[in-house]
Structure 1
Amino acid sequence: MSYWELLTIELAQISPLAVASYIEQLTGELSAPTVKLHLAAIRSLFDYLVTGQVVPLNPAAAVRGPRHVVKKGKTPVLTAEEARQLLDGIDLRTIAGVRDRALIGLLVYSFARVSAAVGMDVGDYFSQGRRMWFRLHEKGGKHHEVPAHHKAEEYVEAYMQCAGIRVDSQGPIFRTIDPRSNLTVVRMHRVDVLRMIKRRARQVGLSSRVCCHIFRATGITAYLQCGGLLEYAQRMAAHESVRSTKLYDRTSDTINLDEIEKIQI
């Protein structure tokens, strides 16, 4: 059953068979995650309709989506040397360069999502005890506080001093640059960050696959390679489940040369 055929049926007449037929057709056209997303949307809609007493039952409740098992995420990872190459390759003679290094440093050393980073205000970089902390604005309106790595603190301090925005505690910490290369009062959008990261990556000869999320995976992998615990990485990344954190772990990707040399032919 197609989407358009489904639209011709009255809501009360939509059966589990109709939903199952629709999902079966989608399975042949779209990826498993996309099909599961469609099914979840239908379930959510009918849950709402059941609650509002528009329909008596949720016809999608018993329908199963395609099987999809993910053991490793698709996000690429930079090596420690590549991450350092990117950070060191930024021209710090401009406010844009100082800002970009601070933002990339925050993403790498705090495992922050880009939306959580650009959502920060100046006041979300604060002192607690003898260390500086970041208050990240996570999904669902949640705030996640994480101590600043000394490198991230160094980069952000340099940016705050250069930008002169420390007193504007209510203003965004990461701001756009106008055509005259001056800092504005406008908050950066995640799309702005993506463009910046791709531009910085090209400047140092890194792959065009570099994206905002790559730094989260890079930071987590570097942490685990140095003996960090997965449970702590989960807390630092603000993941609900340790399985989510495991998707970012690429420590097992490296194949030992000694093992390869055991192939004696």
Structure 2
Amino acid sequence: MMPALITSAGDRASIRFLEFFTSAIRNPHTRRAYARAAGDFLSWCASAGVTSITAVQPLHVAAWIELQTQAHAAPTVKQRLAAIRHLFDWLVTGQIMPHNPAASVRGPSHTTKQGKTPVLEASEARQLLDSIDVSTPIGLRDRALIALMVFSFARIGAALAMRVEDVYMQQRRLWVRLREKGGKAHAMPCHHTLEAYLHAYLEGTGLVAEPKGPLFRTIRRGTGELGDTPLPQANAYAMVRRRALAAGIATAIGNHTFRATGITAYLKNGGTLENAAAMANHASTRTTQLYDRRGDDVSLDEVERIRV
């Protein structure tokens, strides 16, 4: 539903507002996050007595951001402020507003040297993979998906967007083709374990005959067989939590856990940060460093030195 502050500014404002989410933002996850932030902000403005989008002032943006810092972590607040800034930039260039009221508003400071994503030890990752019953299509699918994220550092969005033809032979080795953020295509040779799991999945489910179909699919109710629709991200999250619980793993893992687990395991075994960044399709090694959790082992060892 169109926010009241937008409709009150006229048809041009309404059209321009819709174009921001349909034309200016291509990533569906970013679109959802920005739409949620914009909706929350405009609803708050309406409750504060603002009657039109053109009446929004820096003071309104600053007050809303202050409220956000009380309910959300700094990275989330910064993302929400970015959403509002980009929206107003779009409205300014469309001549809906004379200036961007969010341009001068500063977000909370935030620096980090390590990500917060829960990471599994290599033995735990192996425990999880070995615990999956692969006598059924769903078991073959789940093991292949988790292994793909561990051994190729794939983001869950890229993994779930794969088609069957994105698993292919090249140079006598199985490769995977991933479509990452910003539409960037990224190809990687498969680790021998991943190669075995993907072969078992494709051959055990008959997906080889459907090269244009989605690689990871939902299960038809009551049949236990693969359907035709891609597996949603929320379903993948529920699956990994369920599999971890069944394997006796207490860590509160998520889809992103396996990317961080794979990168950390690679670096522990002598891999370089530069190669890890290339394999993860990171633009900078600084991003890859957020996934490097080797320091956790040092911290645990040092804590045990506290003897009382």
Is 1:95 equivalent to 2:121 in the alignment? no
| Secondary structure class of the residue paired with 1:62 | coil
Is 1:22 equivalent to 2:87 in the alignment? no
Contact conserved, 2:118 with 2:251, CA < 8 A, in 1?
A: no
| Secondary structure class of the residue paired with 1:24 | helix
Report which of the two has the higher share of helix.
2
Q: In structure 1, list runs of 5 or more residues that go unmatched.
A: none
Is 1:182 equivalent to 2:228 in the alignment? no
Match of residue 41, structure 1, among 75, 83, 90: 83
Give the structure 2 partner of residue 231 of structure 1.
Answer: 274
Once the two structures are superposed, residues 159-194 of structure 1 have per-residue CA deviations (whole angstroms, 9 ceiling, x without a partner) of 111111212110111122222212222221112222
Give the structure 2 partner of residue 142 of structure 1.
Answer: 184
Match of residue 196, structure 1, among 218, 223, 239: 239
Matched AA of 1:241: S
Matched AA of 1:73: G
Quote the Cα distance in structure 1 between the aligned partners of 2:109 and 2:195.
Answer: 44
Quote the Cα distance in structure 2 between the aligned partners of 1:44 and 1:258.
Answer: 46
Match of residue 173, structure 1, among 191, 215, 223: 215
Give the structure 2 partner of residue 115 of structure 1.
Answer: 157
Quote the Cα distance in structure 2 between the aligned partners of 1:242 and 1:199.
Answer: 33
Is 1:219 equivalent to 2:237 in the alignment? no
**Aligned-pair distance for 1:87?**
0.9
Q: In structure 2, list runs of 5 or more residues that go unmatched.
A: 1-40
Quote the Cα distance in structure 1 between the aligned partners of 2:299 and 2:84.
Answer: 47
**Aligned-pair distance for 1:221?**
0.4
Give the structure 1 partner of residue 170 of structure 2.
Answer: 128
**Aligned-pair distance for 1:10?**
4.1
Bigger mean CA offset, 119-128 vs 176-185: 176-185
| RMSD after superposition | 2.3
Match of residue 97, structure 2, among 49, 52, 55: 55
**Aligned-pair distance for 1:142?**
2.5
Contact conserved, 1:111 with 1:220, CA < 8 A, in 2?
A: yes
**Aligned-pair distance for 1:61?**
1.1
**Aligned-pair distance for 1:48?**
0.7
Quote the Cα distance in structure 2 between the aligned partners of 1:10 and 1:98.
Answer: 54
Matched AA of 1:240: A
**Aligned-pair distance for 1:219?**
0.3
**Aligned-pair distance for 1:124?**
0.3
Quote the Cα distance in structure 1 between the aligned partners of 2:161 and 2:209.
Answer: 18
Q: 1:180 to 1:69 in 2, by over 3 A?
A: same
Quote the Cα distance in structure 2 between the aligned partners of 1:114 and 1:106.
Answer: 9
Contact conserved, 2:277 with 2:288, CA < 8 A, in 1?
A: yes
**Aligned-pair distance for 1:158?**
1.0
Matched AA of 1:99: R
Is 1:78 equivalent to 2:120 in the alignment? yes
Quote the Cα distance in structure 2 between the aligned partners of 1:42 and 1:262.
Answer: 48
- Percent identity reads 51
Structure 1 runs (4+) deviating above 4 angstroms are: 256-265
Is 1:105 equivalent to 2:150 in the alignment? no
Give the structure 2 partner of residue 247 of structure 1.
Answer: 290
**Aligned-pair distance for 1:6?**
5.2
Give the structure 2 partner of residue 161 of structure 1.
Answer: 203
Q: 1:243 to 1:7 in 2, by over 3 A?
A: farther
**TM-score, with structure 2 as normaliser:** 0.79
Matched AA of 1:205: G
Contact conserved, 1:198 with 1:208, CA < 8 A, in 2?
A: no
Quote the Cα distance in structure 2 between the aligned partners of 1:108 and 1:34.
Answer: 26
Q: What number of residue pairs does the alignment pair up?
A: 265
